[in-house]
Structure 1
Amino acid sequence: MSRLACLVMGSLVLTGKLYAHEFWIEPSVLMPALDEKLNVQVRVGEHFEGELFPFQPRAYEAAYWIGPETVLPLHTQPLAQRDLSLSAQGDGLHILAIASFGRTLTYTSLSEFEAFAAEVGASAVLAGVQLQAEQDGTLQETYRRFSKMLVHFGSKSGADKRLGLEYEWVQSDKGIALFSPQGRVPHHPVDLFCRQSNGQVRQHRLYTDSTGQVLPDVAMAERCMINAVFLTPSKTSKRWSSDWVSMFWVN
């Protein structure tokens, strides 16, 4: 099994420079017709490139399919359903929202963990913290994923909204707002990835403003994913937790 597959399926001991591991969900059709079935693809990787995994709703702590009028829980459905395609619940915006169970990574050295923190823009969190390793020199991080996919059936009507995920992005005509359990998150580093029509990927490190929003410069028809990471130490600083929050949409 590959390292990225391990990230999805279970624990991982880092042996190379695999620090960032974004997670997002993409639709099989960018703007499906009202009568069209939609399949989704789970991706784990870096720089908007990654390995592809099947979407199994029961593998997540929570998975919801939200239409214009209905919220459908998917994580309570039978485990081995063959047809995991999604159907429109009306014209306009639909949202697939998921929250994962916690998984554990083991870093083989403190320097590897510091490199990971730098990669996701979280070096400031380490400032003033005395990192401590276990007796074997390792350090553990427990991570969770919170992800949304926005897709329109029929027309581009409808607006994104706060769904109540612990960490969540919410898109509006004023920008994209980042939420944590404490509310909007100002001055937080985020990464924006956009795939152009020629297949090339643009990547930008941005920061939310004083209201917790970013206003990304996105061209029409670009596929985009925005990601933020929240890194939190335990009392001993030997164990850390990270919460990854992403959203995929087509402009």
Structure 2
Amino acid sequence: MQMLIEAGGSVAPVLKIGEHPQAQTYAFQPRAYAQAVWTGPGAQLDLSRLPLSAPKPALHAFAPGLHSLAVSTYPQKLTYASPEHFERFVREIGREDLLLSTNVDPVFGREVKESYRRYAKTIVHFADRRGKDRRIGLSREWVWQGDTFRLFDGKAPKVAQKARVICSIGPAPQAVTEQELHTNADGNIRPVLPQNGRCLINTVFLEYDDHAGHWTSDWVSLYFMAP
């Protein structure tokens, strides 16, 4: 998605599955989400509540400046091929501490099931870069605050959460930079961003639901173009 759009233009979003530039691309269907909210200066449109008979909306600017498209998915279920596959995933997201937790250790000896959701936000600018990012209302959400990015878990900033920052630069084949950071006491990270890089910040909340007897994960991302 183009991040700086001329005045009078519009956004035609697509769905990408994956963290890297070679991610798979799919059509964006706003009414397939639990939330799909287009927000700009002084206005907000809930795309997921449009009637099924309505055509797919073109996302136009409400005014010059910063706009965001924020979505949350319905829970989806996944069964891992083996406990080892799940352990590999746990290590990839930096939650090795869960492998040592005595109250959930027995699940690693049998079939591992997971319920996952995604909370994603994309920031674009129309005409210029005026305006500030703000909370849209997702249960878990990144907010761009100048040279820092704050992660919210509910109403509170999330401390000591591992995040990955991936930026692509230039035309294909694109150069890619990656950073791994942890949120500080204010829930912030301060990554080093390449100029005009197309950047994705992603973090994963992983928890065990004792009542349901399976794992839950929330994938929380923010996609934007660095100034």
TM score, norm. by length of structure 2: 0.92
Which residue does the alignment assign to 1:54?
27
2:107 equivalent to 1:115: no
Q: Which runs of 5 or more residues in structure 1 are unaligned?
A: 1-26
Instruction: Tell me if structure 2 keeps the 8 A contact 1:144–1:244.
Output: yes
Which residue does the alignment assign to 1:239?
214
Superposed CA offset, 1:200-230 (max 9, x none): 1111111111211001100221100000000
Which residue does the alignment assign to 1:146?
119
Which residue does the alignment assign to 1:172?
145
Looking at structure 2, the residues matched to 226 and 31 of structure 1 have their Cα atoms a distance apart, in angstroms, of 19
Which residue does the alignment assign to 2:106?
132
Task: Say if 1:194 and 1:144 are closer, same or farther in 2 by CA, change over 3 A.
Answer: same
Question: What SS class does the counterpart of residue 124 from structure 1 fall into?
Answer: helix
Which residue does the alignment assign to 1:98?
71
Which residue does the alignment assign to 1:219?
194
2:188 equivalent to 1:210: no
TM score, norm. by length of structure 1: 0.83
Q: Alignment RMSD, CA only?
A: 1.9
Looking at structure 2, the residues matched to 190 and 126 of structure 1 have their Cα atoms a distance apart, in angstroms, of 19
Instruction: Tell me if structure 2 keeps the 8 A contact 1:40–1:85.
Output: no
Letter in 1 for 2:60: S
Looking at structure 2, the residues matched to 66 and 231 of structure 1 have their Cα atoms a distance apart, in angstroms, of 28
Work out the number of aligned pairs and report it: 223
Superposed CA offset, 1:72-109 (max 9, x none): 00001133655442111000000101111000110122
Looking at structure 1, the residues matched to 108 and 165 of structure 2 have their Cα atoms a distance apart, in angstroms, of 34
Structure 1 residue 172, shift from structure 2 partner: 0.8
Q: Percent identity?
A: 32
2:128 equivalent to 1:155: yes
Structure 1 residue 30, shift from structure 2 partner: 2.4
Question: What SS class does the counterpart of residue 11 from structure 2 fall into?
Answer: coil
Looking at structure 2, the residues matched to 164 and 217 of structure 1 have their Cα atoms a distance apart, in angstroms, of 27
